[in-house]
Amino acid sequence: MKTRILFVIDGMEFGGGERVFTQLMNGLPRDRYEIFLASGPQKSFYDAIAQTPVKRFAVDFSNRYNPAVLFALINIIKNHKIDIVHGQGARAEFFARLASRFYGHSHYVSTVAMPVEGYDVASGKRSLYKAMDGFTERYVDYFLVVSAVLEEAMIKGHGIQPEKVIKIYNGIETDHYRPEDLDESRQKVRKAFDIQESTLLIGTVGRLVWQKGFDYFLQAIPALIKSVPNSRFLIVGDGPLRPELEEQAITLGIRDHIIFAGHRRDIRDMLAAMNIVVIPSLLEGFPMVTLEAMAMERPIVATAIDGITEQISDRIDGLLVPAKDPETLAHAILHLATDPSFARSLGSRARKRVVGDFSVQKMILETIKVYEKL
């Protein structure tokens, strides 16, 4: 008999959580698992699992006070005799944990990519999420965390028993992110944005929110333009801070040197077009873009913060700099720009690290072990 797993996530946008669940739904062996999904009907999310036999249920998690969501999940779990509920995200998990508990016959697995205290929301809403999360943590069999710092946060900060917290690194599809694809992808993107092949393109990827530290990246750019006049800068992503960042670029006198590309689905191609990838984050769980850039053999400059330091070793497979330090950030980028041999060596070692430690296949196998424990 197949194990029936219900994945629950708000699905209001296609972010890192939706991506990991996509990898699991697409990668779990069909002869052993029957898969169900309760989420908002987000098109990109649905498209990503279109070729996989998943029974989907559209659930609106936008209203965190709506009891109808709880009853909808209880009915799904009961009617389809769900064995394991696997949730992610405080908004969706509050209802999913309660629904699993009320049904009484399903186990619960929670993926924690960011603790609720780190959410980019107003302080009042963050306190509410923390209370909701704390109340329902008792109903979780296992917490899957994506980094050592999150493991410590759950054990020491949330008081979860150590045996209930399991670290499983995010993984990427290493066969999809291949250095062999660089030339064709690079040419396509550079042509689309009218960037010459000889131009040094320095780029970054992520949601335009405060945690990503893009304002410090902008502050580093004037010095880079002065040292490397034949350079341009690419910011891939969208979010609430975009108007503010564009205004900051005008104030710094660098707006003509920057491309705000907005939300893109072709991240592999965008990374291929970049000569150097910058990750100036202030707060992360375990960013996927780092792994993508490493798999593409891109030289990386990133901030030395928790999560990233588990992915990159300084001067071995990337350069690490302090957060909120645009001067040091600019110096590190310039180092790679003026020493292409060193930059290539970092990229080569980064690819080997990803293949060995951060493949999606490894992530799926380790998650299956958790399911089998239940």
Mark whether 185 and 288 lie in a shared domain.
yes
Give pLDDT, residue 15: 79
Domain hosting residue 288, numbered range: 179-357
Mark whether 206 and 105 lie in a shared domain.
no
Mark whether 367 and 343 lie in a shared domain.
no
Mark whether 87 and 26 lie in a shared domain.
yes
Give pLDDT, residue 193: 96
Mark whether 193 and 151 lie in a shared domain.
no
- Token pair 């929670």 in the structure block, residue: 110
Q: What is the residue-wise DSSP string for 71-125? A: HHHHHHHHHTT-SEEEEESHHHHHHHHHHHHHH-S-EEEEEESS-GGG-SS-HHH
Mark whether 219 and 121 lie in a shared domain.
no
Q: How many domains does the chain have?
A: 2
Q: Is the dihedral of CA 138, 310, 335, 184 positive or negative?
A: negative
- Tell me the one-letter amino acid at 129: Y
Mark whether 137 and 223 lie in a shared domain.
no
Give pLDDT, residue 139: 95
The b-or-e profile of 207-217 (16+ CB within 10 A means b, else e) is: bbbebbbbbbb
Residue 237: CB atoms within 10 Å: 22
Q: Is 313 helix (H, G, I), strand (E, B) or coil?
A: coil
Give pLDDT, residue 119: 62
Q: How far apart are CA 182 and CA 339, in angstroms?
A: 20
Burial of 140 (C-beta count, 10 Å sphere; 0-12/13-18/19+): buried
| Ordered alpha helix ranges (H), the chain | 16-27, 43-48, 67-79, 90-103, 123-136, 148-152, 182-192, 214-227, 242-251, 267-273, 288-295, 326-338, 340-357, 360-373
Q: What is the CATH number of the domain that holds 252?
A: 3.40.50.2000
Give pLDDT, residue 117: 66
Cβ–Cβ < 8 Å for 252, 216 = no
Mark whether 229 and 317 lie in a shared domain.
yes
Mark whether 157 and 281 lie in a shared domain.
no
Of 109, 75, 76, nearest to 93 by C-alpha is 109
Q: How far apart are CA 213 and CA 361, in angstroms?
A: 31
Mark whether 205 and 330 lie in a shared domain.
yes
Mark whether 186 and 52 lie in a shared domain.
no
Q: How far apart are CA 314 and CA 307, in angstroms?
A: 14
Give pLDDT, residue 122: 67
Cβ–Cβ < 8 Å for 308, 279 = yes
Burial of 259 (C-beta count, 10 Å sphere; 0-12/13-18/19+): middle
Q: Is 279 helix (H, G, I), strand (E, B) or coil?
A: strand
Q: How far apart are CA 267 and CA 237, in angstroms?
A: 10
Cβ–Cβ < 8 Å for 269, 184 = no
Give pLDDT, residue 181: 78
The b-or-e profile of 119-131 (16+ CB within 10 A means b, else e) is: beeeeeebebbbe
> 340-357 and 326-338 are packed helices; what angle lies between their axes, rounded to 10 degrees?
100
- Token pair 């410090």 in the structure block, residue: 216
Give pLDDT tens digits along the chain (374 positions).
899 999 999 988 887 889 899 999 999 999 999 999 999 998 989 999 999 999 999 999 987 778 899 999 999 999 999 999 999 988 899 999 999 999 888 999 999 987 766 666 666 667 777 777 778 999 999 999 999 989 999 999 899 999 999 999 999 998 889 888 788 899 999 999 999 999 999 999 999 999 999 999 999 999 999 999 999 999 999 999 999 999 999 999 999 999 999 999 899 999 999 999 999 999 887 888 999 999 999 999 999 999 899 999 999 999 999 999 999 999 999 999 999 999 999 999 999 999 999 999 999 999 999 999 99
Mark whether 157 and 189 lie in a shared domain.
no
> Residue 39: what are its φ and ψ, rounded to 5°?
-160, 170
Of 320, 303, 315, nearest to 339 by C-alpha is 315
